[in-house]
Amino acid sequence: MPMLYTYLIWSVLLVLLWSVVFVFTRNKKKMLTMSLGTAPLGLTEPLFYPEYWSPPTLFGLGENYGFDVESILFSFAVGGLASTLYELGSTTKAKSIPSDYKLGRMHRFHALALSSPVLVFAFLELTTSLNSIYTASMRLLAGAISTVICRVDLLDGAIKGAAIFSLFYFVFFSAMNWSHPNFVDLYWNNEAISGFRVFGVPVEELLFAATLGALWSNFYEHRYWQSRV
């Protein structure tokens, strides 16, 4: 496969994997909602392209405009997978939490906790010179921590979500590396990041996967006042 289409091909493969998981997941509404909510984040690609990476994109959109089709497909797929993978095989059904639980002391900050990823990301982007991959992971981590502070019952899901999606993402990325061994060397801005890799996978990618899994595994339940306990 030519490297010109690597990002497109693997983004499409990720959507196909999403489709398989969608067939088997118990909570299709959650998975679809989280995917549709995550897809627009692909439009933030100008923050990462080329400061973090610069893969060839369909019609040269990324190279010329910073926006690309692949990032929207990728964001759509990872949003649903990160929110749902850890639940596969579980027989526990989500249920609404008692109304009096919503009146708890920490739930006065419900809206702030939900918006904390955006606020942290904006603050770090405006006040630091950190590469956006780090500020993105920090905002996801901040959101995950805020969720658990408000909803300690979601801690187990956050841990499982982070672990399982990280493992999935590592295997997926490793397969892409195997198909195109020089892809990371050619298209990641290795001088702007740590340079550390785990069996060929940039540690920044695993950091992103872990923090996304930790937050997205519980965001739906937090947003819509649901519990799996």
Residue 195, amino acid: G
The pLDDT confidence band at residue 96, using thresholds 50, 70 and 90, is low
- What is the helix, strand, coil percentage profile of the chain, to 5? 75, 5, 20
Residue 122, amino acid: A
pLDDT in tens, 129-140: 999 999 999 999
How many C-beta atoms surround the C-beta of residue 200 within 10 A? 15
**Cβ burial, residue 41 (10 Å; 0-12/13-18/19+):** middle
* Three-state DSSP state, 200: coil
* Three-state DSSP state, 104: coil
- Look at the block and give the residue holding tokens 């749902």: 84
Are the C-beta atoms of residues 22 and 53 closer than 8 Å to each other? no
Q: Provide the pLDDT for residue 150.
A: 84
- Statement: residue 98 has pLDDT above 90: no
At what angle are helices 69-84 and 28-38 packed, to 10 degrees? 150
The mean pLDDT value for 97-118 works out to: 70
The mean pLDDT value for 32-60 works out to: 92
- Which residues have C-beta within 8 Å of that of residue 99, sequence separation ≥ 6? none
- Statement: residue 80 has pLDDT above 90: yes
The pLDDT confidence band at residue 152, using thresholds 50, 70 and 90, is confident
pLDDT in tens, 161-202: 999 999 999 999 999 999 988 899 999 999 999 999 999 999
pLDDT in tens, 205-229: 999 999 999 999 999 988 887 776 5
The pLDDT confidence band at residue 60, using thresholds 50, 70 and 90, is confident
- Statement: residue 112 has pLDDT above 90: no
Could you give the CA distance from residue 148 to residue 39 in angstroms, rounded to a whole number?
24
The mean pLDDT value for 70-87 works out to: 94
Q: Which of 78-82, 151-155, 180-184 has the highest mean pLDDT?
A: 78-82
Name the DSSP class of 88. T
Cβ-defined contacts of 36-42 (< 8 Å, 24+)? 36/76, 36/79, 37/79, 38/75, 38/76, 38/78, 38/79, 38/80, 38/216, 39/72, 39/75, 39/76, 39/79, 40/72, 40/75, 41/75, 41/79, 42/68, 42/71, 42/72, 42/73, 42/74, 42/75, 42/76
Q: Provide the pLDDT for residue 62.
A: 77
